[in-house]
Amino acid sequence: MQFSAAQITALINGKIEGDANASVSSFGKIEEAQPDQLAFLANPKYEDYLYSTKASVIIINDSLQLRQPVTATLIRVPDPYSAFAALLGTYQEMMQQQLVGVQDPSYISKSASYGQNVFIGAFTYIGENVTIGNNTKIYPNVYLGNNVKVGDNSIIHPGVKVYHDCMIGNNVIIHAGTVIGSDGFGFAPQADGSFQKVPQIGNVVIEDNVEIGANTTIDRATIGSTIIRSGAKLDNLIQIAHNVEIGNSTVVAAQAGISGSTKVGKGVMIGGQVGIVGHINIGDGAKINAQSGVSKSIDAGKAVTGSPAHDYTSTLRSQAISRNLPELEKRIKELEAIVRQLLSEKV
C-alpha cells in the first residue's frame, strides 16, 4: 500500500519540506529505515540519524533546527510521536477493514447476532444470545459465552475467552490469551478447616476505548459487576479480582494485581508488579511506583512507593539518609573519640 508525502501530511495536519510526491509503503525506525519507508524523530538523542537515514519520509518536530541538509522529505508537526501513533492507527484500521466474513470451521449459535463488516475467525465459539456490533473483528480460537455483548469497532485477538453475561463496549482491544469473567476468588472458611465456594453470579463490564494486554485475567463479580471504565489501559499479565472498579483513563503496568472490591479512581498510574489489597480506595490521579505493596487507601493525587507503600518524596529522603549511614557512623565515632579525649583531659 503506497502513500505519498502529501497524503501523509494531510492525514496528520503537518507541513511538508521537500518532495511532496515522495512515496512510502512501510514504516521503519529512523536508525534502520530503508528507501520507501516512513520514519519519525521524537527523541533528540536520535537526531544524528536524521542526517544518515535512508528513509524516504520523516516526521519531525516543528521547532527542530537542522544542523545540515537531509535527503528525506520532512513533515513537521507539533508532536511527532503522537502524529506517528495516529498514522499507525489509521494504517492498522485500513488493514483490518479488509478482514470481513466468517471463517470455517466456527460455531455461531442461531440466537446470536452480529452487525455489518464483522470478521469471525476460524475455530471461534459464539454462544446463545451473543450480540456483536458493526466492524468488530473476532480472531481465531475466541470463546464468547452466552449473553455476551460486544460493541462496535472492537478487536478481540486469538485465544481470548469471555465468559457468560459479560459486556464489552465500543473500540475495545483485547489481546491474545486474556480471560474475561472467570470466577472471582471467593471461598467461605468452614468449621472443619475446609473452604466452601461462594458462587460468583455477577459479570464484567468493559466500557468504551479500553485496551487490555495479553494473558490478563479479569474476574467476574460475586454480585454486581467488575468494571473497567472507559479509556483505561491494562498491560499484559495483570490480575483484576472480583468487584474491582478501574477508573477512566487509568493505566496499569504488567504483573500488577488488584484484590477484590478495591476501587481505583480515574487517571491513576500503577507501575509493574504492584500489589494492592482488597476493599480500599485509590484516589483520582494517584501514582503507585513499580513493585509497591499497597495496604491502605491512597488519597487523590498522592504518589507512593515501597512495601508497604509510603509517600514517594518521604521515601526518597529516607533512602538518601540510608545511603549516608556509613559516613554518619564514621563521624559519630570520631565525635565519641573527641569527647573521650576531652573527658580524660578534664580528669
How does pLDDT run across 172-187, given as a tens digit for each residue? 999 999 999 999 999 9
Choose the catalytic residue: 157, 164, 175, 242.
242
What's the rounded Cα separation, in Å, for the pair 72 and 94?
A: 25
Contacts 24+ apart (CB under 8 A), 262-265: 265/300
Cite the beta strand spans of 1-49 per DSSP E. Answer: 3-4, 15-17, 23-24, 26-27, 37-40
List strands edge to edge, sheet with 245-246.
Answer: 113-114, 131-132, 149-150, 167-168, 203-206, 225-228, 245-246, 263-264, 281-282
Rounded (10°) CA dihedral 263, 266, 267, 269:
10
- Tell if the pTM clears 0.85, that is, is over it: no
Higher-confidence position of 239 and 346: 239
> Looking at the domain that runs over 3-96, which CATH code has it been given?
3.40.1390.10
For 49, list phi and psi in degrees, rounded to 5. Answer: -70, -20
Topology of domain 101-313 in CATH is UDP N-Acetylglucosamine Acyltransferase; domain 1 (2.160.10)
Nearest to 64 by CA among 108, 15, 97: 15
Q: What are the pLDDT digits (tens) for 218-257?
A: 999 999 999 999 999 999 999 999 999 999 999 999 999 9
User: Is 242 one of the catalytic residues?
Assistant: yes
Placement of cell 516512513 in the chain: 38
* Residue ranges of domains in the chain: 3-96, 101-313, 314-346
Three-class secondary structure of residue 208 per DSSP: coil
Q: Are the folds of 3-96 and 101-313 the same?
A: no
